[in-house]
């Protein structure tokens, strides 16, 4: 079963042609890694799926529904209401709001603090205990790593069908990265689909079920994450690196 599919997607940003006919299939209830060198088009792909940058050609499907492409009237709020959450590389948190209020704003079904799912909050605090410690702290006062925890927590404060996450381990200490990996594994077990851009190859190896590698605005390789992780020659060809076995 396919959660998201891109067919021949092109994206222009002003005068710049960034995506050049991206074909991508994201299987449902799996973690798909989107890898590639800096500037390959990974972030643009996520933003185009989310409708933040419109596809100038091609088609984007969420399940059986078209959500992107020329003439498509679906908006970013529509996509969010369909159960898609996006964690941008710049985190997308509200610096003037507290940790508590950032999560409350992100919870679509909650109009007040009492409406938040307390069991789910406790589950999140188990992975990111700093969020409990700084619950009433303004988000702008948090450290970079704490802001990243909050950005991820905002995306998972309620169950989502699809998570689009751009480099979530960036700036996190190794122990918190391990917690992040554990959280995403549990989300997959809860039937959440994840499309994850990640430069940390250990995270990619630990989490990925499938992988797509981008270069120059195109997907140049797709397949099982395990196959790429076990083929050092292919890693070197596609990424210019080798993934550690442990």
- What pLDDT does 115 receive? 86
pTM recorded for the entire structure: 0.92
Residue 170 placed within a domain = no
Looking at per-residue pLDDT, the higher value among 18 and 239 belongs to 18
Supply φ then ψ for residue 43, to 5 degrees: -65, -40
Residues 43 and 121 in one domain: no
- What pLDDT does 243 receive? 57
| pLDDT beyond 80 at 204 | yes
**Reduced 3-state DSSP string for the chain:** CEEEEEEEEEEEECCEEEEEEEEEEEECCCEEEEEECCCCCHHHHHHHHCCCCCEEEEEEEECCEEEECCCCCCCHHHHHHCCEEEECCCCCCCCCCEHHHHHHHHCCCCCCHHHCCHHHHHHHHHHCHHHHHCCCCEHHHCCHHHHHHHHHHHHHCCCCCEEEEECCCCCCCHHHHHHHHHHHHHHHHCCCEEEEECCCHHHHHHHCCEEEEEECCEEEEEEEHHHHHCCHHHHHHHHCCCCCCC
| pLDDT beyond 90 at 133 | yes
Confidence band of 110 (pLDDT split at 50, 70, 90): confident
| pLDDT beyond 70 at 241 | no
Give the rounded percent of residues in the chain with a pLDDT score beyond 90. Answer: 79
- What pLDDT does 89 receive? 86
- What pLDDT does 246 receive? 43
Q: What are 140-173's pLDDT values in tens digits?
A: 999 988 999 999 999 999 999 999 999 988 878 8
Range of the domain at 24: 1-83+180-246
Q: What are 53-97's pLDDT values in tens digits?
A: 999 999 999 999 999 999 999 999 999 999 999 999 887 899 999
User: d(Cα 106, Cα 87) in Å, to the nearest integer?
Assistant: 11
Residues 78 and 102 in one domain: no
- What pLDDT does 112 receive? 84
Beta strands, E only, 63-191: 65-68, 84-87, 162-166
Confidence band of 130 (pLDDT split at 50, 70, 90): very high
Final residue of a structural domain among 124, 159, 194: 159
Residue 233 placed within a domain = yes
Residues 76 and 94 in one domain: no
Residues 243 and 130 in one domain: no
Give the total number of structural domains in the chain.
2
Q: What is the mean pLDDT of the chain?
A: 93
Residues 184 and 79 in one domain: yes
- What pLDDT does 244 receive? 54
Residue 164 placed within a domain = no
């Amino acid at each position: 079963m396919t959660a998201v599919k891109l067919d021949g997607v092109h994206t222009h940003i002003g005068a710049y042609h960034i995506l050049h006919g991206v074909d991508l299939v994201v299987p449902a209830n799996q973690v798909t890694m989107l890898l590639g060198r800096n500037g390959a088009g990974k972030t643009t792909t996520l933003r185009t799926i989310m409708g933040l940058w419109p596809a100038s050609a091609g088609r984007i499907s969420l399940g059986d529904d078209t959500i992107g492409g020329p003439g498509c009237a679906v908006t970013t709020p529509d996509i969010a209401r369909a159960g898609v959450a996006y964690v941008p590389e710049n985190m997308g948190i509200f610096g003037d709001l507290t940790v508590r209020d950032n999560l409350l704003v992100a919870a679509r079904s909650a109009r007040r603090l009492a409406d938040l799912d307390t069991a789910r909050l406790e589950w999140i605090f188990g992975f990111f205990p700093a969020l409990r410690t700084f619950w009433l702290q303004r988000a702008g006062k948090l450290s970079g790593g704490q802001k990243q925890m909050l950005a991820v927590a905002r995306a998972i404060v309620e169950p989502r069908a699809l998570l689009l996450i751009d480099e979530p381990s960036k700036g996190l200490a190794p122990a918190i990265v391990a917690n992040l990996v554990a959280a995403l594994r549990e989300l997959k077990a809860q039937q959440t689909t994840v499309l994850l851009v990640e430069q940390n190859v250990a995270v990619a190896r630990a989490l990925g079920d499938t992988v797509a590698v981008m270069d120059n605005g195109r997907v140049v390789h797709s397949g099982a994450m395990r196959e790429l992780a076990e083929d050092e020659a292919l890693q070197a060809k596609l990424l210019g690196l080798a993934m550690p076995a442990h």
